[in-house]
Chains A and B, each alone.
Chain A
Amino acid sequence: EAQVTQNPRYLITVTGKKLTVTCSQNMNHEYMSWYRQDPGLGLRQIYYSMNVEVTDKGDVPEGYKVSRKEKRNFPLILESPSPNQTSLYFCASSNGDGTGYDEQYFGPGTRLTVT
Protein backbone atom coordinates (compact mmCIF):
# COMPACT_ATOMS: atom_id res chain seq x y z
CA GLU A 1 0.00 0.00 0.00
CA ALA A 2 1.31 3.41 -1.01
CA GLN A 3 1.71 5.51 2.08
CA VAL A 4 3.58 8.06 4.14
CA THR A 5 4.29 6.95 7.69
CA GLN A 6 5.25 9.10 10.66
CA ASN A 7 6.47 8.12 14.09
CA PRO A 8 5.63 8.71 16.80
CA ARG A 9 1.97 9.66 16.38
CA TYR A 10 1.84 11.33 19.78
CA LEU A 11 4.67 12.75 21.85
CA ILE A 12 4.80 14.70 25.09
CA THR A 13 8.20 16.04 26.00
CA VAL A 14 9.89 18.74 28.07
CA THR A 15 11.59 21.93 27.00
CA GLY A 16 15.11 21.39 25.71
CA LYS A 17 15.04 17.63 25.25
CA LYS A 18 16.08 16.82 21.69
CA LEU A 19 13.63 14.77 19.67
CA THR A 20 13.25 13.36 16.18
CA VAL A 21 10.05 12.68 14.28
CA THR A 22 10.58 10.16 11.52
CA CYS A 23 8.89 10.23 8.12
CA SER A 24 9.08 7.55 5.46
CA GLN A 25 7.37 7.12 2.08
CA ASN A 26 7.25 4.02 -0.12
CA MET A 27 6.23 5.72 -3.38
CA ASN A 28 9.72 6.63 -4.61
CA HIS A 29 8.77 10.30 -4.50
CA GLU A 30 11.45 12.92 -5.10
CA TYR A 31 9.78 15.71 -3.12
CA MET A 32 9.14 15.62 0.62
CA SER A 33 8.00 18.29 3.02
CA TRP A 34 7.18 19.00 6.65
CA TYR A 35 4.25 21.13 7.79
CA ARG A 36 2.86 22.22 11.10
CA GLN A 37 -0.83 22.86 11.66
CA ASP A 38 -1.99 25.29 14.30
CA PRO A 39 -5.56 26.43 15.08
CA GLY A 40 -6.68 29.26 12.84
CA LEU A 41 -3.50 29.20 10.77
CA GLY A 42 -3.82 26.24 8.43
CA LEU A 43 -0.71 24.34 7.37
CA ARG A 44 2.62 26.14 7.33
CA GLN A 45 5.65 24.66 5.66
CA ILE A 46 8.73 24.08 7.81
CA TYR A 47 11.25 22.52 5.43
CA TYR A 48 11.13 20.76 2.12
CA SER A 49 13.43 18.57 0.04
CA MET A 50 13.50 18.29 -3.73
CA ASN A 51 15.78 15.25 -3.68
CA VAL A 52 18.41 13.40 -1.66
CA GLU A 53 20.83 15.79 0.04
CA VAL A 54 18.79 18.80 -1.14
CA THR A 55 16.77 20.60 1.52
CA ASP A 56 15.44 24.12 1.83
CA LYS A 57 13.61 26.30 4.32
CA GLY A 58 9.88 26.81 4.21
CA ASP A 59 7.94 29.56 5.93
CA VAL A 60 8.64 28.62 9.57
CA PRO A 61 12.04 26.84 9.80
CA GLU A 62 13.29 28.35 13.07
CA GLY A 63 13.97 25.72 15.72
CA TYR A 64 13.88 22.79 13.29
CA LYS A 65 16.38 20.74 11.32
CA VAL A 66 15.92 18.13 8.63
CA SER A 67 18.07 15.74 6.66
CA ARG A 68 17.55 13.74 3.47
CA LYS A 69 20.17 11.03 3.33
CA GLU A 70 17.88 8.54 1.61
CA LYS A 71 15.06 9.14 -0.84
CA ARG A 72 12.41 7.49 1.31
CA ASN A 73 13.20 9.14 4.67
CA PHE A 74 12.91 12.74 5.79
CA PRO A 75 13.25 13.09 9.58
CA LEU A 76 12.36 16.29 11.43
CA ILE A 77 14.69 17.18 14.31
CA LEU A 78 13.97 19.53 17.17
CA GLU A 79 17.33 20.13 18.85
CA SER A 80 15.92 22.09 21.79
CA PRO A 81 12.11 22.02 21.73
CA SER A 82 10.17 24.91 23.24
CA PRO A 83 6.47 25.21 24.16
CA ASN A 84 5.74 27.27 21.03
CA GLN A 85 6.57 24.17 18.99
CA THR A 86 3.57 22.40 20.44
CA SER A 87 1.62 21.59 17.30
CA LEU A 88 0.33 18.96 14.90
CA TYR A 89 3.01 18.00 12.39
CA PHE A 90 2.51 16.48 8.94
CA CYS A 91 5.00 14.98 6.57
CA ALA A 92 4.11 14.93 2.87
CA SER A 93 5.59 13.66 -0.36
CA SER A 94 4.83 14.11 -4.04
CA ASN A 95 5.91 12.73 -7.35
CA GLY A 96 6.56 16.14 -8.80
CA ASP A 97 9.23 18.75 -8.45
CA GLY A 98 7.58 20.69 -5.66
CA THR A 99 6.29 23.47 -7.88
CA GLY A 100 2.87 23.18 -6.27
CA TYR A 101 1.02 21.61 -9.21
CA ASP A 102 1.38 18.09 -7.93
CA GLU A 103 -0.82 16.25 -5.49
CA GLN A 104 0.87 15.80 -2.14
CA TYR A 105 0.42 12.66 -0.06
CA PHE A 106 0.33 13.24 3.67
CA GLY A 107 1.24 11.14 6.65
CA PRO A 108 -1.25 10.70 9.51
CA GLY A 109 0.30 13.44 11.64
CA THR A 110 2.32 13.67 14.85
CA ARG A 111 0.82 15.56 17.76
CA LEU A 112 3.66 17.08 19.76
CA THR A 113 3.27 18.71 23.17
CA VAL A 114 6.24 20.49 24.72
CA THR A 115 5.86 21.39 28.40
Chain B
Amino acid sequence: DQQVKQNSPSLSVQEGRISILNCDYTNSMFDYFLWYKKYPAEGPTFLISISSIKDKNEDGRFTVFLNKSAKHLSLHIVPSQPGDSAVYFCAARGDSNYQLIWGAGTKLIIKP
Protein backbone atom coordinates (compact mmCIF):
# COMPACT_ATOMS: atom_id res chain seq x y z
CA ASP B 1 0.00 0.00 0.00
CA GLN B 2 1.45 3.33 -1.03
CA GLN B 3 2.11 5.61 1.90
CA VAL B 4 2.55 8.69 -0.28
CA LYS B 5 -0.03 9.27 -2.98
CA GLN B 6 -0.23 11.75 -5.80
CA ASN B 7 -3.67 11.05 -7.18
CA SER B 8 -3.43 13.23 -10.27
CA PRO B 9 -1.15 11.65 -12.90
CA SER B 10 -1.27 14.87 -14.91
CA LEU B 11 -2.36 18.48 -14.67
CA SER B 12 -2.70 21.12 -17.38
CA VAL B 13 -2.54 24.84 -16.47
CA GLN B 14 -2.53 28.04 -18.48
CA GLU B 15 0.69 30.04 -18.44
CA GLY B 16 0.52 32.79 -15.82
CA ARG B 17 -2.10 31.03 -13.69
CA ILE B 18 -1.58 29.12 -10.46
CA SER B 19 -0.59 25.46 -10.52
CA ILE B 20 -1.58 23.38 -7.51
CA LEU B 21 -0.11 19.91 -7.11
CA ASN B 22 -1.43 17.70 -4.35
CA CYS B 23 0.03 14.92 -2.25
CA ASP B 24 -1.58 12.77 0.45
CA TYR B 25 0.15 10.54 2.96
CA THR B 26 -1.02 7.89 5.38
CA ASN B 27 1.69 7.76 8.04
CA SER B 28 1.30 10.41 10.75
CA MET B 29 4.90 9.76 11.83
CA PHE B 30 6.35 11.36 8.71
CA ASP B 31 8.19 14.50 9.83
CA TYR B 32 9.68 16.00 6.69
CA PHE B 33 8.40 16.42 3.16
CA LEU B 34 10.12 17.30 -0.08
CA TRP B 35 9.17 18.13 -3.64
CA TYR B 36 11.39 17.20 -6.55
CA LYS B 37 11.02 18.20 -10.17
CA LYS B 38 11.99 16.01 -13.10
CA TYR B 39 12.47 16.89 -16.76
CA PRO B 40 12.53 14.16 -19.44
CA ALA B 41 15.85 12.32 -19.74
CA GLU B 42 17.13 13.92 -16.54
CA GLY B 43 17.19 12.92 -12.90
CA PRO B 44 14.94 14.57 -10.32
CA THR B 45 16.14 17.85 -8.81
CA PHE B 46 15.23 19.17 -5.40
CA LEU B 47 12.66 21.96 -5.39
CA ILE B 48 11.41 22.75 -1.90
CA SER B 49 10.84 21.08 1.46
CA ILE B 50 8.85 21.52 4.65
CA SER B 51 9.18 20.26 8.18
CA SER B 52 6.15 18.91 10.01
CA ILE B 53 6.48 21.70 12.59
CA LYS B 54 5.55 24.24 9.92
CA ASP B 55 2.46 24.62 7.80
CA LYS B 56 3.95 26.71 5.01
CA ASN B 57 7.28 27.23 3.29
CA GLU B 58 7.88 29.65 0.46
CA ASP B 59 10.68 29.99 -2.08
CA GLY B 60 10.08 32.50 -4.83
CA ARG B 61 7.21 31.30 -7.01
CA PHE B 62 6.96 28.02 -5.11
CA THR B 63 5.04 27.52 -1.88
CA VAL B 64 4.38 24.28 -0.09
CA PHE B 65 1.49 23.96 2.36
CA LEU B 66 1.18 21.20 4.93
CA ASN B 67 -2.08 20.19 6.59
CA LYS B 68 -1.11 17.59 9.19
CA SER B 69 -4.64 16.86 10.37
CA ALA B 70 -5.64 15.99 6.80
CA LYS B 71 -2.28 14.35 6.03
CA HIS B 72 -2.12 16.48 2.93
CA LEU B 73 0.41 18.73 1.33
CA SER B 74 0.28 20.86 -1.76
CA LEU B 75 2.73 22.70 -3.97
CA HIS B 76 1.62 26.03 -5.41
CA ILE B 77 3.41 27.60 -8.35
CA VAL B 78 2.54 31.22 -9.05
CA PRO B 79 2.70 32.36 -11.77
CA SER B 80 3.16 29.22 -13.83
CA GLN B 81 5.74 29.40 -16.59
CA PRO B 82 6.45 27.13 -19.58
CA GLY B 83 9.70 25.96 -17.94
CA ASP B 84 7.63 24.55 -15.08
CA SER B 85 6.36 21.78 -17.35
CA ALA B 86 7.81 18.67 -15.74
CA VAL B 87 6.95 15.74 -13.51
CA TYR B 88 6.71 16.66 -9.83
CA PHE B 89 7.38 14.10 -7.12
CA CYS B 90 6.33 14.40 -3.53
CA ALA B 91 8.47 12.53 -0.98
CA ALA B 92 8.22 12.00 2.75
CA ARG B 93 10.84 11.08 5.31
CA GLY B 94 10.01 7.63 6.60
CA ASP B 95 9.92 6.87 10.29
CA SER B 96 11.53 3.41 10.18
CA ASN B 97 14.91 3.73 8.48
CA TYR B 98 14.52 7.43 7.64
CA GLN B 99 14.64 6.79 3.93
CA LEU B 100 12.43 8.76 1.60
CA ILE B 101 9.04 7.41 0.54
CA TRP B 102 8.07 8.73 -2.89
CA GLY B 103 4.80 9.42 -4.61
CA ALA B 104 4.19 8.31 -8.20
CA GLY B 105 4.53 11.83 -9.60
CA THR B 106 2.27 14.35 -11.34
CA LYS B 107 3.03 15.55 -14.84
CA LEU B 108 2.45 19.30 -15.05
CA ILE B 109 1.85 20.81 -18.47
CA ILE B 110 1.88 24.59 -18.81
CA LYS B 111 -0.05 25.76 -21.85
CA PRO B 112 1.05 28.99 -23.59
Q: Which residues of A contact B (CB under 8 A)?
A: 4, 35, 39-45, 48, 56, 58-59, 90, 92, 98-101, 103-109
Say whether B45 faces chain A, with CB atoms less than 8 Å apart: yes
Size of the B side of the interface (Cβ < 8 Å), in residues, is: 24
Determine if B43 and A4 form an interchain contact, defined as CB atoms under 8 angstroms apart. Answer: yes
Say whether B59 faces chain A, with CB atoms less than 8 Å apart: no
Q: Which residues of B contact A (CB under 8 A)?
A: 2, 4, 6, 32, 34, 41-46, 49, 89, 91, 93-94, 97-100, 102-105
Determine if A101 and B32 form an interchain contact, defined as CB atoms under 8 angstroms apart. Answer: yes
Interface of B is mostly: loop
Chain B residues contacting A100 (CB-CB under 8 Å) are 32, 93-94, 98-100
- Closest Cβ of chain A to B104, distance in Å, is 4
Determine if A45 and B45 form an interchain contact, defined as CB atoms under 8 angstroms apart. Answer: no
Contact of A44 with B102 at beta-carbon distance under 8 Å, contacts A90-B43, A106-B43 already known: yes
Contact of A42 with B105 at beta-carbon distance under 8 Å, contacts A98-B98, A98-B99, A100-B32 already known: yes
Chain B residues contacting A92 (CB-CB under 8 Å) are 43
Determine if A103 and B46 form an interchain contact, defined as CB atoms under 8 angstroms apart. Answer: yes
Determine if B44 and A99 form an interchain contact, defined as CB atoms under 8 angstroms apart. Answer: no
